[in-house]
Amino acid sequence: MSSTSDARFFFTYLFRELQRRRRQALLTALGLAAGAGLVLTVTAASAGVQDAQATVLHSLYGVGTDVTVTQAPPPSNPGSLPTAGGQSSSKFVFSPGKSPQHVDQLGETDGLGALPASSVAAIARLPGVKDVAGGITALDTKLTIPALSQLGQNGAPPGGLPQGTTCTVDGVDLAHLGLGPFGSAALSAGRSFRDADANANVAVIDSGYATAGKLTVGSTVTIAHIAFTVVGVVDQPQGAGAADVYLPLARAQALAATPHVPSSVGKVDVIYVVAASGAAVPMVRQEIARLLPGATVTTASSLASDVTGSLASAASLISDLGRWLAGAVLVAAFVIAGLLSAAAVTRRVREIGTLKAFGWRTRRIVAQIMGESAVIGIIGAALGTAVGFAGAALIQALAPGLAATVSSNPGSAPAENVSLNATGEHTSIAQGAQHTVPVHLSAPVSAETIGLAVLLALLGAVIAGSFGAWRAARLRPAQAMASVA
Amino acid sequence: MYTLTDISKTYRKGQHRVTALDGLNLSIAAGEWLAIQGRTGSGKTTLLQLLGALDHPSSGVINFDGRDLARLTEADLVDVRASSIGFVFQTFNLIPTLSARENVEVALIPQGLSAAQRRTRVAEALASVGLADRASHLPAELSGGQQQRVGIARALVKAPSVLLADEPTGNLDVDTRDEIMALLEALWRDRGLTLVLVTHDTAIARRAQRVATMDDGHLSVAPGERPQPGHATGGRSQPGQQ
């Protein structure tokens, strides 16, 4: 039959027609390309922001962690130690005595409440959960409380309030070393934890902390008056989740004390969860929230609302301006393409009338016009993809470094900054501990994003072609002779 | 071939109704050459459009080989146009981006022929109008007379029974006009075509077997210089026939 020769004629006619009005075709394709390219760029930037938010989450909780579970503590009691740099607080009651007191205590951090260790096992049984680990994040504070005789009339020492030294301590679940902040650490000296270390006084320390304290493998660090042997030194990605000292979870539980839980044995304050897949994260979050009604369940997406700083500004800019701009350009491109297509048909009234006079069916003529639009759409999609890639590359190359400021334990109660007075009572409540994580905004272009851009360009072409096709379908064959009435 | 009975065609033009054809009756025999004359706006092109199944009349019957074109659906009219009627236009109406060969091929698209059949018939049609050596030329590369020859080849390539020509020499100089008319006359004679030709040129109209004159939607028919076919039923204006 004639299908091959029909197709040959179809494409010959199509490409010759596009060649005849190539400027208009190119203009239409460029319009579609601009719209599709902008959508691609904005979508890529948006994906970059999401990646950045995930980076922030991972910097806090370790790579691979999809969900973290924390719980706010009950209202605090008076009598807390001062904090270093406003980073966190340890709370316990004290009283100045006749002689100076040397305090070394491991306490809770920034308002994290204790969760029963059984929660870890319960979460592990939930559908969609791949792996779970519990942890303790604590603060070791070393401080010398002056004797009563050393205090002035205002109740404070003449030289000012005593400044303690602190280090952050994480209790690590040795059965799940890959989860939590320790999972992001890279061993630079010594060894990591072993199963046999569960109840041993051994520690792995951060390289920065090691340098500052001139510590090496074999040195000892004192936590809550207990000497721990340093068995390893780790480098950690720059971020908020890095602890100074890592201890086996059981040892940290034994040492940590809180105003509410004198012994932390059998308790954790952070649970790290890995979902079976990215798609399962929302379900896992929901299930955990149902299991632990009082807990704060955090995911990368929920963390986004807690992030402030320039990353949040970038996210807002992309969400508000970027999407509107891309949408507006896309709609404008669709409308202009549609008008140009209809105008092209108007200029071809006699030609189309002649085709109808020679027995061409309307559907064949509509197919011819839609084919022309489809080719323009394909060109627009190709150009749009290139424009989108260029836009994404520009963002990656030119975007300034961003910073994400986030609570180190999002969703938990604000930590208390306390200062010491003569009666040993806390005097103020300050902001919770916050960390700023430097983030480089990337703009990853995924296959789905390219597919979306191509689809939009083709959709625009189809809509534009429909204008022209509708106009052509309505033309009467008598138009072939219309000018010679 | 054609029997038109009480044909009227009215158009809406703004708020007014314009009567292009008013109770027109006409018979055209198979193989006849009928010329149609008339002032601009007298309705001759409208009549040609109805004969060519390009439009429906507002009322009346157009019997074409036993079928009433006034009652046919648009799809049926497309079939009639595709198989039985060829058109030649004053402005040639060639597609500027297609070569002479491809322009002629346009008329074969609805026929569903094989590529080989198309090639053969297009080559024959172009040869019959003396343009075998111009087959790959674009319209812009051809003279006016050559373009009209391509138009005639396009009209005849599907071997229609009727050729409707709307001022086919209107855009040509005198020499080319005579050349085209000689070609049309030869094709009419050799192929037994029914030729209906609209023209302002009285000299051309006289070469037909009959000359129909349109005036304000009404038709009067007179004999041309050429002898009328013995079986023609249109002939001179009959009583009741315009």
pLDDT digits (tens, 9 = 90+) for A450-473: 898 888 888 888 888 888 888 888
> Would you call A466 helix, strand, or coil by DSSP?
helix
Q: Are strands A129-145 and A101-108 parallel, antiparallel or unpaired?
A: antiparallel
Which token pair is A101?
């007191």
Q: What is the predicted pLDDT for the residue at B228?
A: 66
- Cβ–Cβ under 8 Å, residues B138 and B97: yes
Q: Which two tokens stand for residue A189?
A: 């000296």
Compute the 3-state secondary structure of chain B and give helix, strand, coil in percent, each to the nearest 5: 35, 25, 40
- Whether residues B114 and A484 touch (CB distance < 8 A) is answered with no
Nearest Cβ partner for A357 among B81, B90, B113: B81
**Distance (Å, whole) CA A117 – CA A134:** 7
Q: Residue A414 above 50 pLDDT?
A: no
Tokens 């109406």 appear where? Answer: B93
Query: Strand B33-38 vs strand B210-215: parallel, antiparallel, or unpaired?
Result: parallel
Local confidence band at A314 (pLDDT 50, 70, 90 cut-offs):
low
Residue of higher predicted confidence among A377 and A408: A377
Query: Which residues in B59-87 are b (16+ Cβ under 10 Å) and which e?
Result: ebebebeeeebbebeeeebbebbbebbbb
- The chain B residue lying nearest A484, using CA atoms, is B45
Query: Which residue type occupies A373?
Result: S
User: Which of A4, A364, A484 is nearest residue B45 as measured by Cβ atoms?
Assistant: A484
- Substitution target in A354, A362, A365, A475 with the highest count of B β-carbons within 10 Å is A354
Q: Do residue B78 and residue A361 have CB atoms under 8 angstroms apart?
A: yes
Residue-by-residue DSSP string for A231-264 = EEEEE--SSTT--SEEEEHHHHHHH-B-SS-S--
Closest Cα of chain B to A358: distance in Å?
A: 5
From the CA of A49, how many Å to the nearest CA of chain B? 50
* A8/B115 CB distance under 8 A: yes
Separation CA A41–CA A34 (nearest Å): 10
HSE-CB for A265 with a 13 A CA cutoff: 3
Return the half-sphere exposure (C-beta side, CA atoms, 13 A cut-off) of residue A76: 29
Q: Residue B114 and residue A5: Cβ atoms within 8 Å?
A: yes
Q: How far is B110 from chain A (nearest CA, A)?
A: 6
Chain A neighbors of B154, CB-CB under 8 A: 358
Residue in chain B nearest A21 by alpha carbon: B97
| A193 alpha carbon, distance to own chain's centre | 29
DSSP letter at B106 equals H
pLDDT number for residue A36: 87
Domain boundaries, chain A: 3-49+313-401+443-484, 72-294
| Average pLDDT over chain A, rounded to an integer | 77
pLDDT at A73: 73
CB-CB contact of B116 with B148 (8 Å): no
> With contacts defined as CB-CB under 8 Å, which chain B residues touch A359?
78-79, 81-83, 107, 109-110
* Contact criterion met (CB < 8 Å) for B89 and A480: yes
How far apart (Å, rounded) are the C-alpha atoms in residues B86 and B106?
Answer: 12
The confidence score (pLDDT) of residue B19 equals 87
Q: What average pLDDT does this structure show over A290-300? A: 83
Are the CB atoms for B6 and B23 separated by under 8 Å?
yes
A8 touches chain B (CB under 8 A): yes
Q: In this predicted model, what pLDDT tens digit does every residue of A149-177 receive, in sequence order?
A: 767 666 666 666 667 788 888 889 888 88
Percent of chain A with pLDDT over 70: 72
- Residue B10 φ/ψ, nearest 5 degrees: -120, 145
Instruction: Give contacts of B153 with chain A, Cβ < 8 Å.
Output: none
* pLDDT the model gives residue A76: 53
- Whether residues A4 and B115 touch (CB distance < 8 A) is answered with yes
- Kindly state the average pLDDT of the residues A254-273: 72
Band of residue A311 on the pLDDT scale cut at 50, 70, 90: low
Q: Which residues of B touch A481 (CB under 8 A)?
A: 45, 48-49, 54, 89, 166
B97–A483: do the CB atoms touch at under 8 Å? no
Do B118 and A361 make contact, defined as CB atoms within 8 angstroms? no
Which among A4, A12, A359 has CB closest to B81? A359
Q: Roughly how many angstroms between the first and final C-alpha of chain A, as a whole number?
A: 39
A459 in Cβ contact with A382 (< 8 Å) = no
A380: Cα within 13 Å, side-chain hemisphere = 37
Q: Does A22 touch chain B (CB under 8 A)?
A: no
Q: What is the pLDDT of residue A97?
A: 72
Q: In the numeric block, which tokens belong to residue A165?
A: 């030294």
Q: Find chain B residues with C-beta within 8 A of A475's C-beta.
A: none
Q: For A412, phi and psi rounded to 5 degrees? A: -80, 170
Q: Point out the residue among A2, A16, A360 whose CB comes nearest to the CB of B98.
A: A16
State yes or no: pLDDT of A404 exceeds 80.
no
Question: In this structure, which long-range contacts are made by residues B178-186, counting pairs with CB atoms below 8 Å and at least 24 apart in sequence?
Answer: B179/B145, B180/B145, B180/B148, B180/B149, B180/B152, B181/B207, B183/B129, B183/B130, B183/B149, B183/B152, B184/B88, B184/B152, B185/B33
Mean pLDDT, range A350-365, rounded to an integer: 91
A3 and chain B: CB distance < 8 Å anywhere?
A: no
Residue A431, number of CB atoms within 10 A of its CB: 12
CA–CA min distance A455, chain B (Å) = 30
Q: What is the pLDDT of residue A59?
A: 63
- Secondary structure letter of residue B200 according to DSSP: S
Q: Report d(CA A93, CA A138) in Å as an integer.
A: 17
Q: In terms of residues, how long is chain B?
A: 242
Q: Name the residue ranges covered by the structural domains of chain B.
A: 2-89+162-223
Percent residues over pLDDT 70 in chain B: 93
| ipTM score for this prediction | 0.89
Q: What pLDDT is stored for residue A87 in this prediction? A: 38
Tell me the CA distances in angstroms from A113 to A71, A106, A223, A274, A413, one per residue in order: 5, 14, 21, 21, 9
Nearest Cα residue to A66 out of A333, A399, A301? A301
A452 to chain B, closest Cα gap in Å: 34
pLDDT of residue A420: 36
- Report CB contact under 8 Å: A477, B81: yes
Structure tokens at A312: 């949040």
**C-beta of residue B233 within 8 angstroms of C-beta of residue B210:** no
* Band of residue A432 on the pLDDT scale cut at 50, 70, 90: very low
The single-letter code of the amino acid at A52 is: A
Instruction: Tell me what percent of the residues of chain A surpass a pLDDT of 90.
Output: 16
What's the CA gap between B132 and B130, in Å, rounded? 6
Which pLDDT value is given to residue A428?
32
pLDDT tier, A64 (very low <50, low <70, confident <90, very high otherwise): low
Residue among A244, A94, A100, A225 at smallest CA distance from A169:
A244
* Choice between A16 and A239, residue whose per-residue pLDDT is larger: A16
Given a cut of 50, is residue A78 above it in pLDDT? no
Contacts of A6 in chain B (CB under 8 A): 109
| For residue A399, pLDDT beyond 50 | yes
In B, which residues are within 8 Å of A355 by CB distance?
106
What the block records as the tokens of A382 is 């190709």
Q: Which residues contact A82 (CB under 8 A, 6 or more apart)?
A: A143, A161, A162, A163, A164, A417, A418, A419, A420
pLDDT band at A47 (very low <50, low <70, confident <90, very high): confident
Shortest distance between the Cα of A2 and any Cα of chain B, in A, equals 4
Q: Is A277 exposed, middle or buried (0-12, 13-18, 19+ CB in 10 A)?
A: exposed
Q: In angstroms, what separates the C-alpha of A340 from chain B's closest C-alpha?
A: 19
Q: Does domain B2-89+162-223 have CATH number 3.40.50.300?
A: yes
Residue A466 distance to chain B (closest CA, Å): 21
Element (H, E) at B38: strand B33-38
- Burial classification of residue A278, based on how many CB atoms lie within 10 Å of its CB (0-12 exposed, 13-18 middle, 19 or more buried): exposed
Contact list, B78 vs chain A (CB under 8 Å) = 356, 359-361
Is residue A257 scored above 50 in pLDDT?
yes
Q: Along chain B (242 residues), what's the average pLDDT of each consecutive run of 10 residues? A: 92 84 91 91 88 92 92 92 92 93 93 88 92 93 92 92 91 86 89 91 89 87 70 37 41
Q: What is the pLDDT of residues A318-332, one digit of tens each?
A: 666 667 777 777 787
pLDDT of residue B11: 86
pLDDT band at A182; cut points 50, 70, 90:
confident
Instruction: Label residue A35 by pLDDT band (50, 70, 90).
Output: confident
Residue among A63, A36, A86, A134 at smallest CA distance from A331: A36
pLDDT at A1: 44
